[in-house]
Chains A and B, each alone.
Chain A
């Protein structure tokens, strides 16, 4: 870790349970009633962070493709509060920032792959192409917050990609989301967005004729 490392952490604006100046807790929320699998998040992430082919820091998964009940969900690193990857990492290369972002130190990582098996979302990525699937150092979604380097330095950019959080911006994937299915920000704000949507939708999406849609109740 470079000696001048400073982590720039967003501060929660409104008073919350942890007090007015508690650090924000950054979260993603993926609204499966809105994700249309346009792939905008995947492409924007790769462009923003210069991610090589074969590595997907975020990917959109579709179930029941082409059938009733077709549903899409974008899957980045969920930056879990009790992150299994942090728990299993034998060299503490994975750690929580004060704002809840699960960060990675690529120089400490030994590429053992424990995190891959611990993660329920498939977030940890390993370079492919080497014989026998040699893992190499892990790569994952940084929440567009770079890594433990001087923020916005060339070295940070090369190792981790962009640091939009240090610039006061949200992750690129959420910024470009066509339908606002992917919501990012302080957990309180994200929860407010979700709460408002749920209130508007009511049960089963609430739309006219829902009870007979596709010939089934819901």
Chain B
């Protein structure tokens, strides 16, 4: 997120779209409700479901799942028609507004109302509320991203905020809430298949930078790959890895199929098309599951061998630092040594590296490597605190692109000791040895004296106090020749009062001289550029509404089509139009959406093994509106089949779940929580758990019936919009 959760206390309007913080980020509601109480902030909840969050909104807007681009463009259309846009911000700090404005003209309120199902009066209400109550924030999560055009949806949220000038201000921001523990940190250190740590990509320059950080010869790294092309080619994503097992290698972006799969703290019941995941798990040669619990992965495939479960320590059993949604880096103490046979993640990794023959390279770096690792790691459960700190120091050395150099273990630990001196609204320390620091030293944190950057793109404070412009990541000029540098007069104070490109080599100069040079002159090392309405280098340079692959509106599929098929994307073919059947809606007339509930997290192997949580939410269910239930002869508590159309497998999928009759969903939509596992298409798998490891509740996985559909850029799965039918079991 550009701002931080505490900063929502400064907001005067809060649009929560594709997001249910009352269930998924309960603590954030403290800040949201404080803004409502003390600022009279208007809260707008936009969602296909009337969620627990919607109950606290001043305005609830029920939207058809997957039509967010049209909804936001409808708001912008009204904002521009009334002249409510922030002209100064647009002129000084953005690129290609004119083209954007031309695109917006296609989305008049009536058209938008037809696409989204939102009344024109409600569009007007929301547009006026956002315009009259600035600064305002837009908050989203998976409801925005898990669509076949999720990138477009997310970009329009940002564009709305650019039009309103709600960026770089306390109380404003594009505030996507990250979900899991340290998932922001995982992104930062390169958990994706398309980049090395710090968003450097995987080109030769990136590999050379990191080979210098790791003190490992580039040629040695190159020799680990088949060739240079494969070294620089993005791998499979978590969304579609299983196609690498199942598809004919001649259709893949590599000549061999995937032979082994290792899950490290990831569940399979959170993966779309889980019936296809099951087939891949049955075909692959080796499965390793590293987790504190025996997960759905271990019981899903019908196979008797080749599955290895490695017990991992929980976060309470290891020292570590984690990065939360605010970009805050926080130090965590080990509470107890790993219990029973559990081992820390790092112990498992180093042991594995040793057995695979590259321990020396794995633990080395240009600061002398990780200390405190015994010569023989085979029976070691954990390393010292010093080892964990050395891992963080390595990130400090290398991830300069986003200013990860400032949060040293020493500073994080000191903040932990002085946590009480940080202000709840600004997250800034008052007095003590941490005076002036931001809690968690949110990146970019450019030096070991820099306070961190709690609010990105803020140009009314100096860089030394957390100011910065937009990152000048695409050079000084766009391909059309127009400038990408901020206008004269728009820059953080105490530096040049104009736009400027990124400091040369700031991200790769390990001496950090380039960063220091920029800071000395009051400049942000990554430059002072413009935010782009037109991103020429990705699909849909200007986002446009595209109907979901499983759209209930054949007429709109023609007018707002999905993408053309993509030949290869993350090593697999990614069809769109050829996977779509516009008349699906005749047989499958109900929109299917999925999501989370407060008691469980992700695949929930741990939570479903906790008696108190299971007591609160004991059974898998489907939410059905009373009208829809009555039309189908279904009563609250009845067993029902939820069935979806054929996807990659060419056959329909179905699950048997209990009916929860509720007005949370509209009469055109049903909702499935996705946390359950251990039952597959009506058959229990509970007997397959090793003795004593079965969770207290098993149930059908929502993702058994979620269907094909992936984002065109990120390959995020389209689990928020599908089509289904229901019948009493």
**Contact indicator B22/A38 (Cβ below 8 Å):** yes
Most buried by B among A42, A179, A200, A213: A179
When distances are taken between beta carbons in the complex, the residues of chain A under 8 Å from B616 are 39, 42-43
Asked if B193 lies at the interface with its beta carbon under 8 angstroms from chain A, I say: no
Assess whether B598 is in contact with A39, with CB atoms less than 8 Å apart.
yes
Q: Is the CB of A36 within 8 A of B59?
A: no
B30 touches A180 (CB 8 A): yes
B273-292 toward A: CB 8 Å interface, digit per residue (1/0)?
00000000000000000000
Query: Known: A43-B612, A53-B615, A207-B41. Is A37-B36 also a contact (CB below 8 A)?
Result: no
Residues from chain A with a CB closer than 8 A to the CB of B36 are 205, 207
Determine which residue in A200, A206, A208 has the highest number of CB atoms from chain B within 10 A of its CB, and name it.
A208
Residues of chain B within 8 A (CB-CB) of A201 are 37
A-contacting residues, B589-630, CB 8 Å: 598-599, 611-613, 615-616
Q: Write the nearest CB–CB distance from B233 to chain A, whole angstroms.
A: 44
Q: Which residues of A have CB within 8 Å of B60?
A: 68, 214
Q: Indicate if the CB atoms of B30 and A67 lie closer than 8 Å.
A: no
| In contact, B664 and A65 (Cβ under 8 angstroms) | yes
Given contacts A38-B23, A178-B26, A200-B38, contact A208 B132 (CB under 8 A): yes
Asked if A5 is at the interface of the complex by the 8 Å CB criterion, the answer is: no
A47 interface residue per 8 A CB criterion: yes
Contact with A along B1-41 (1 / 0, CB 8 A): 00000000000110000000011001101100100111011
Do the beta carbons of A39 and B50 come within 8 Å of each other?
no
Select one of B42, B56, B599 contacting A39, CB under 8 A: B599
Complex Cα spacing A33 to B38, Å? 13
Q: Return B393 CB to nearest CB of chain A, in Å.
A: 34
Residues of A within 8 A of B611 (CB): 53
Known: A36-B56, A42-B612. A179 touches B664 (CB 8 A): no
Contacts of A178 in B (CB 8 A): 26-27, 29-30
Say yes or no: A36 contacts B22, CB within 8 Å. Answer: yes
- Closest CB-CB distance, B34 to chain A, in whole Å? 9
Contact among A33, A38, A67 for B50, CB-based, below 8 A: A67
- In the assembled complex, the Cα of A94 lies from the Cα of B591 at a distance in Å of 54
Question: Contact mask A177-202 → B, CB, 8 Å, 1/0?
Answer: 01110000000000000000100110
Asked if A40 is at the interface of the complex by the 8 Å CB criterion, the answer is yes
Is there a chain A Cβ closer than 8 Å to B662's Cβ?
Answer: yes
Residues of B within 8 A of A65 (CB): 662, 664
In the bound assembly, the distance between CA atoms of A67 and B37 in angstroms comes to 22
Residues of B within 8 A of A212 (CB): 125
Asked whether A36 and B52 contact (CB < 8 A) given A42-B616, A178-B26, A179-B26, the answer is yes
- Residues 14-34 of A, flagged 1 when their CB comes within 8 A of B and 0 if not, give 000000000000000000011
A54 to B663, CA, bound (A): 28
Minimum CB–CB distance from A162 to chain B (whole Å) comes to 15
Interface residues of B in 392-425 (CB under 8 A from A): none
Is the beta-carbon distance between A208 and B50 smaller than 8 angstroms?
A: no
The yes or no answer to A175 lying at the interface (CB within 8 A) is no
Known: A36-B52, A209-B59. A67 touches B663 (CB 8 A): yes
CA of A3 to CA of B59 in the docked complex: distance in angstroms?
Answer: 60
Indicate if A70 sits at the interface (CB-CB under 8 A): yes
A8 within 8 A of B: no
Q: Given A37-B22, A38-B22, A208-B40, are A66 and B664 neighbors across the interface (CB < 8 Å)?
A: yes
Report B698 CB to chain A, min CB distance, Å.
17
The contact string, 1 if C-beta is below 8 Å from chain B, for chain A 44-80, is: 0011000001100000000001111111100000000
With both chains docked as a complex, state the minimum distance between the C-beta of B265 and any C-beta of chain A, in angstroms: 22
Most buried by A among B36, B129, B132: B36
Tell me if A207 and B42 are in contact (CB < 8 A): yes
CB of A210 closer than 8 Å to a CB of B = yes
Task: Say yes or no for B43: interface residue by CB 8 A criterion.
Answer: yes
Q: Chain A: interface residue count, which band? A: 35 or more
**Cβ of A192 to closest chain B Cβ, rounded Å:** 16
Are A40 and B40 in contact, CB atoms less than 8 angstroms apart? no
Contact B612 A46 (CB under 8 A): yes
Residue B133 interfacial (CB < 8 Å) = yes
Determine the chain B residues whose CB is within 8 A of the CB of A67 once the complex forms.
50, 663
**Interchain CA distance A180-B57 in the complex, whole Å:** 18
B449 at the interface (CB under 8 A from A): no
Kindly state the separation between the CA atoms of A66 and B23 in the bound complex, as whole angstroms: 14
A209 contact from B42, B612, B613, Cβ within 8 A: B42
CA distance A46 to B613 in the complex (A): 10
- Give chain A residues whose Cβ lies under 8 Å from the Cβ of B599: 39
User: Complex: how many Å from CA A193 to CA B37?
Assistant: 13
CB-based contact A179/B41 at 8 Å = no
B135–chain A nearest beta-carbon distance, Å: 14
Q: Does B256 contact A (CB under 8 A)?
A: no
Closest chain B residue to A65, Cβ basis: B662
Say yes or no: is B58 at the interface (Cβ < 8 Å to chain A): yes
For the complex, what is the distance from the CA of A212 to the CA of B42, rounded to whole Å? Answer: 12
With A and B bound together, what is the CA distance between A210 and B129 in angstroms? 11
- Pairwise interchain contact B33-A206, C-beta atoms closer than 8 A: no
Q: How far is the CB of B382 from chain A (nearest CB, A)?
A: 25
Chain A residues within an 8 Å CB radius of B23: 36, 38
Separation of A14 and B50 alpha carbons in the complex (Å) = 45
Q: Which of B52, B55, B58, B125 has the most CB of A within 10 A?
A: B55
Query: Within B422-437, which residues are at the interface with A (CB < 8 Å)?
Result: none
Residue in A47, A200, A208 whose beta carbon sits within 8 Å of that of B37 in the complex = A200
Closest to B663 in A: A66
Beyond A47-B612, A65-B662, whether A210 also contacts B58 by CB under 8 A is yes
Complex contacts, A34 vs chain B, CB 8 Å: 29, 33
A37 to B36 alpha-carbon distance, docked (Å): 18
- How far does the alpha carbon of A140 sit from the alpha carbon of B53 in the complex, in Å? 31
Give the nearest-CB partner of A198 in chain B. Answer: B37
Give the residues in chain A near B598, CB-CB below 8 Å: 37-39
Query: Across the interface, do B58 and A37 meet the contact criterion of CB distance under 8 Å?
Result: no
Bound CA–CA A160/B662 (angstroms):
38
User: Which of chain B's residues have a CB closer than 8 A to the CB of A70?
Assistant: 50, 52, 54-55
* Closest chain A CB from B22 CB (angstroms): 4
Bound Cα distance from A68 to B50, whole angstroms: 9
A54–B611 CA distance with the chains assembled, in angstroms: 10
Q: How far is the CA of A209 from the CA of B37 in the complex (A)?
A: 14
B335 CB to closest chain A CB (Å) equals: 15
Could you jot down 5 A-B contacts, CB within 8 Å?
A: A66-B662, A67-B663, A71-B55, A207-B36, A214-B60
With A43-B616, A208-B40, A209-B125 known, 4 other A-B pairs at CB within 8 A are A38-B22, A178-B26, A179-B33, A212-B125
